[in-house]
Amino acid sequence: MKIITDFIYLVVFFVATFMLGTPVSAMAVKCPLPVNGAYLFKGSSSVYFVTKNCTKQVFSGPTAFLQNVNSWKKIKNVSKTLVNKIAKDINYIIYPRKTNPMTVTPKPVYAPTPTNTSPTQPQTTPTPTTLPVVQQPVNSTQSVPTQQTPSVTETLSYPSQFTLPNRIIKVGDWALTITPTIAYKDSQITFVLTTDNVKRGNVTTSTLSLSQMPVNGMGKTVDLQFYNDGTHGDQLSNDRYFTASTQASEWYRSVMVGTLNISYRDGSQETFNLIGEAFSVLDVPASDIVIYSTPHISALVQNSYKDIGRAYAHSAELCYSDLNKQIGDFNFPLGSAYYIFYQSSSYLETGGPLNTVRGSEQFLTSPASPTSPEWNSCSPITSHELTHTIFYRVPKIAWADEGLAEYTSQAISGDKIVCEASGWRKTASDSLHPFVNINQDAWQVSQDSYMTGVCVYKYIEDTYGQQAIQKIYTAMKNYSSYEHLSTGFYCGRNFNFYQDVLVNSTDQNILNILQQRFGIKSSQMQC
């Protein structure tokens, strides 16, 4: 999963956070920042606007920003000190206008919501509602033709009509099935451990560790016991079929799957470390959930957040075709990319086994429409995070993971950085940022680290051609099977990212470049 940095694309989706400003008279002193401009300071998830009267406002979200500024490239990075010198405007928060005067936006059509105060699933199993095909509206006032966004077929359904995904993790001769990997708060998660190796037998105990970082008082670690005594949904006296379960209500949001231990009567033991595997628990019961589905995206969202859920499903679906053109044919590990939504103090979008969107109540309940400008194209953040989703099963060090996701996102958006022998530039005319050390011990969550990782792939593209990049994509797709490979950062059973992906797609000299230009230690390339 990606940890969002202060990189400029963070502002594509943000939430207003209130900052205390020092009152300054616009008539008495020169304004600390040029007026009628948009500004962002390091560490902030908000974009500020300085009015003609030298007061500051904050945009409530992307819709408000695009209605007033119309381009993310107009945001300037400044210091927090300068922003804090400017007094708050009496109308501090800039909210979206109900209609954009530059476009004629048809009112979104949604399936009817159950009329009771607390929405519940239908008692019968109705047919899922296919919503009208969403297309970008044509601006009739423009003299030049408006390119129409590809249509997206959307379906609204309820939990009773929707099958949640499970996950099969192959380890050794065993397969661990987690059902489901996204659970409603009022449901049960089941783990089934099976093997096709009939010679295996005499299992005495088998356990699976689950852990959760302390969040909202819910942090804990549990060792689940598998059974095959015929009383827990398993098959009696069958050493090839074991079950364990836990109640979703005992967990909070993301739960990490840890170590699988299997002990035998002869004293032997097998241990599998399932690094990177997880399941998620929604904050609410099934009765409060609706699902917006497109051909490759499923957004599971609280009924009160349904507008933002539908908009995300639409926007992420547009990313699928862009990713397909860049990466080649691929499948998401769970069949679709699944999005879940949580309330948080600031915006954060992450990708991996599951895709999460966190935002303020104001953002999540905003009247988002797939026809709005910010939702009718593939967002650079979303394409970045979906790249994580595609390749999350392949063991790879942080620079390789984040570098490839950002390289892919830039290739799709066309907003590519300039990579040179010793550093990178945002554009050819911008100042040079020297490469930072991106070896395992030195990696930091920073813009320079991410862009240095991008430049590794740019070096491969410039030196070995675009075909080498396609070989990297292909190799990673081949390793993104249901078998769990990982035993560490970039090593797995019979797998080494540096050799099996990078060298096999280029040549042995790439390892020298990684050491000399990018500071990666030779010892860290060995498994």
Q: Is the pLDDT of residue 425 over 90?
A: yes
Reduced 3-state DSSP string for 21-55? CCCCCCCCCCCCCCCCEEEEECCCCCCEEECCCCE
Q: Which helix or strand (DSSP H or E) is residue 504 part of?
A: helix 504-505
List, in sequence order, every beta strand (DSSP E) within 238-332. 241-247, 253-264, 269-273, 278-281, 289-293, 297-302
- Predicted confidence at residue 215, as pLDDT, reads 60
Return the SS3 of 178.
strand
Strands 355-359 and 337-343 come out as parallel
Using CA of residue 344, residue 215, residue 183, residue 210, what is the dihedral sign?
positive
How confident is the prediction for the chain on average, in pLDDT? 80
Do residues 61 and 17 make contact, with C-beta atoms less than 8 angstroms apart? no
Domain ranges for the chain: 8-94, 167-281, 294-381, 393-525
Overall fold of domain 167-281: Immunoglobulin-like (2.60.40)
Q: pTM higher than 0.75, yes or no?
A: no
Q: How far is CA 307 from the centre of its chain?
A: 19
Question: For residue 375, which phi and psi values (nearest 5 degrees)?
Answer: -110, -5
User: By percentage, how much of the chain surpasses pLDDT 70?
Assistant: 77
Which residue is it, tokens 């396609």? 470
Radius of gyration of the chain (CA): 25
CA separation for the pair 189, 277 (Å, rounded): 15
Do residues 495 and 403 make contact, with C-beta atoms less than 8 angstroms apart? no
Q: Which helix or strand (DSSP H or E) is residue 188 part of?
A: strand 188-195
Nearest by Cα to 195 from 238, 155, 137, 257: 238
- Predicted confidence at residue 214, as pLDDT, reads 64
Nearest by Cα to 497 from 520, 467, 466: 520
Return the SS3 of 435.
coil
Instruction: Specify the CATH number of the domain 294-381.
Output: 3.30.2010
CA separation for the pair 143, 44 (Å, rounded): 39
List, in sequence order, every beta strand (DSSP E) within 60-142. 75-78, 87-94, 129-130
Q: What is the pLDDT of residues 391-416, one digit of tens each?
A: 988 888 899 999 999 999 999 999 89
Average pLDDT score over residue span 333-339: 92
For residue 483, list its beta bridge partners. Answer: 170
CB-based contacts of 329: which residues, under 8 Å, 6+ apart? none
Return the SS3 of 377.
coil
- Predicted confidence at residue 201, as pLDDT, reads 62
More confident residue, 29 or 297: 297
The letter for the amino acid at 80 is K
Q: Is the pLDDT of residue 377 over 60?
A: yes
At 115, the pLDDT band (50, 70, 90 cuts) reads very low
Q: Is the pLDDT of residue 216 over 70?
A: no
Q: What is the pLDDT of residues 154-165, one digit of tens each?
A: 899 999 999 999
CA separation for the pair 55, 20 (Å, rounded): 12
Q: How far is CA 291 from the centre of its chain?
A: 18
Average pLDDT score over residue span 53-66: 76
